[in-house]
Structure 1
Amino acid sequence: MKRLSIGVMFPSSRSEAVDVRACARHAEDLGLDALFTGDHLAASVGTRESTLTLATVAAVTERLRIGFGVMVLALRHPAWAAKQIATLQHLSGDRVILGVGSGGAVHGSTAWEAVEVPYAERGRRTDAALEVLPDLVTGRSAVLRSGVPITLTPGATMPPVWVGGGSRAALRRAARYADAWFPSMITATAVAEGRRELAELAATYGRPIPHLAVGGSVLLGPAPSPSLLSDATAGLTQYGVPPEVAAHLPITGPPPQAAERFREYAEAGADHLVLGVIGDDWQHQCELIAEARSLAELP
């Protein structure tokens, strides 16, 4: 079986109580591949600023990749975003994974109104930023949408871009700009179908097929809490997932059962899994994820 990298999302509940350094060290000690954080200016659940969180992770780890899951690029000026990304690359030793999303209606309009960015322009602004980011990050001259030329120094290695979202627009964006397509909460069957469509779209741009990274959720152990699972699947329906599909998406059960789900995604074409933990026992869940990875015989 091909190598399937396994990353985890920072715990999202009670974020003010989360020890960022301890979480980072724990994930690295377990041999997990990456630690991702969400990116929200204003959301129903309080979150820390993503670039500073990842800079802290970089400071206390040596090997762990650090990822945006995902950066809402349209909320930022692309030059400032590029400066942050390049700096993270320098601080981390080129360990950044740049997950990018255009933002979703589920989080409301507050953030967009606060930074005076029309919500309807988010897709166009995301594409425009992805056009110039490689030049901005690497220190080459770029011309911004305003027509202003700028060169940022010091330049850095452009990190791999993972475009999030399961829509047709996200697939087109991934095919045109990304190193990986990064949908969340989809079945292994949908991964295989998406890969075929992605291959067709990439060919129209004369690009290789992007890798596939799949976001999922886990609640591992001998007896998953029915109430926690119910809350988690109910939350998925807010993102447009049909209830009958949402009920089967979380990866549950003991590590051997989880290992089988990991294999299903790998066989469908996934190269990476990025797993969010259901509930508050994040550290123990990470331990079970690492055990499941070992049982799946993934190198």
Structure 2
Amino acid sequence: MAAGAAARSVADMTLQLGVILPTSSPDPEQPILGDVRAAARFAEAAGLESVWSTDHLVASAPILDSTVVLATAAAVTDRVRIGYGVLLLALRPVAWAAKQIGALQYVSENRLLLGVGTGNPAHGDVGWRAAGASFADRGQRTDEALRLLPDLVAGKPVTLTDGTELALSPGATMPPILVAGDGPRARRRAAEYADGWITIGASPTRIAASARELTTLAEGFRRTTPTITVVVPPLSTVPAQAADQLAEYATAGAERVILAPSPAGWEASYEFAAELQQSL
């Protein structure tokens, strides 16, 4: 497929392109900590759809607090969406998480995308123990939080699992929920509670298969099929070839692709994303 045809195919599928802010890295030897304000402004000026922040208390590499990062990005931009990529709900009391989510919706004027995950075991359980949260029960606690979160964010009266009754004020618009995870339980969680599903590095073939599975699962819950976001897909470094690959992802059913900053510096990665954005 020619690059021009690829661009038309992607445009027809309205694929969205986002970038991860320079806040952390899986490699502790090469932490990616850059100017969040400059990165967010660059992404907005380039026409990218969204900027994202990773989340953890103690990870395998230095990491900034995700809510502070997203609030900073929101403060220096007007259009670009801000996303948790992804928030570990079970690491926090759900009411506190709801308070932060509602505040971010307010300061960003409803630009938040709420990615939710249960945590990568590769980071270990130190952060969970430090927060006084159960690592073993994180999946169950995530489900419980997802059930309560919409009413908590909206400011409606809620009874927590321990019997505490409360209503947060002010209420806010509940942002779209995107559940992350590559296992069957994560896809089921996305179909049951979320507006979207996030996967890491999956191929277009795998995306197409997952889209069919999500449709079947969502029908069982009488819900709309979740959209699909692909984080760090294996794209060519040649823009024309990467545009063709993005077209394949769009055709397979992906709504959004999120690119990561390079250990060599976020600027080059963002410039590449900006070049791809021109083909959408």
Q: Secondary structure at the match of 1:67?
A: strand
Say yes or no: does 1:147 pair with 2:147: no
- Report the equivalent of 1:189: 205
Where does 1:2-81 land on structure 2 (aligned, <5 Å)? 2-11=13-22, 12-13=24-25, 17-81=33-97
Q: Tell me the amino acid that sits aligned with residue 52 of structure 1.
A: V
Residue 17 (structure 1) shift: 4.7
Deviations 1:191-225 (A, max 9, x none): 000010100110110101111111115xxxxxxxx
Q: Tell me the amino acid that sits aligned with residue 6 of structure 1.
A: L
Where does 1:86-235 land on structure 2 (aligned, <5 Å)? 86-217=102-233
Ranges in structure 1 where 5+ consecutive residues have no aligned partner: 218-249
Check the 8 A contact 1:15/1:48 in 2, yes or no: no
Residue 77 (structure 1) shift: 0.3
Residue 20 (structure 1) shift: 1.1
Distance 2:31 2:104 in 1: 22
Check the 8 A contact 1:255/1:289 in 2, yes or no: no
Residue 253 (structure 1) shift: 2.2
Distance 1:98 1:17 in 2: 22
* TM-score (ref. length: structure 1): 0.86
Aligned structure 1 segments of 4 or more residues deviating by more than 6 angstroms: none
Deviations 1:222-255 (A, max 9, x none): xxxxxxxxxxxxxxxxxxxxxxxxxxxx212221
Deviations 1:42-87 (A, max 9, x none): 0121011000110010100000100000001100000000000000
Q: Tell me the amino acid that sits aligned with residue 182 of structure 2.
A: G
Q: Secondary structure at the match of 2:13?
A: coil
Distance 1:151 1:71 in 2: 22
- Report the equivalent of 1:239: none
Distance 2:137 2:192 in 1: 19
Say yes or no: does 1:284 pair with 2:253: no
Give the structure, 1 or 2, with the largest relative contact order (CA under 8 Å, sep 6 or more). Answer: 2
Distance 1:294 1:30 in 2: 9
Distance 2:190 2:33 in 1: 35
Check the 8 A contact 2:71/2:104 in 1, yes or no: yes
Find 2:249's aligned residue among 265, 275, 278: 265
Q: Secondary structure at the match of 1:277?
A: coil
Distance 1:139 1:116 in 2: 26
Check the 8 A contact 1:51/1:84 in 2, yes or no: yes
* TM-score (ref. length: structure 2): 0.91
Say yes or no: does 1:252 pair with 2:256: no
Q: Secondary structure at the match of 2:43?
A: helix
Residue 15 (structure 1) shift: 5.6
Number of aligned positions between the proteins: 264
Distance 1:264 1:210 in 2: 19
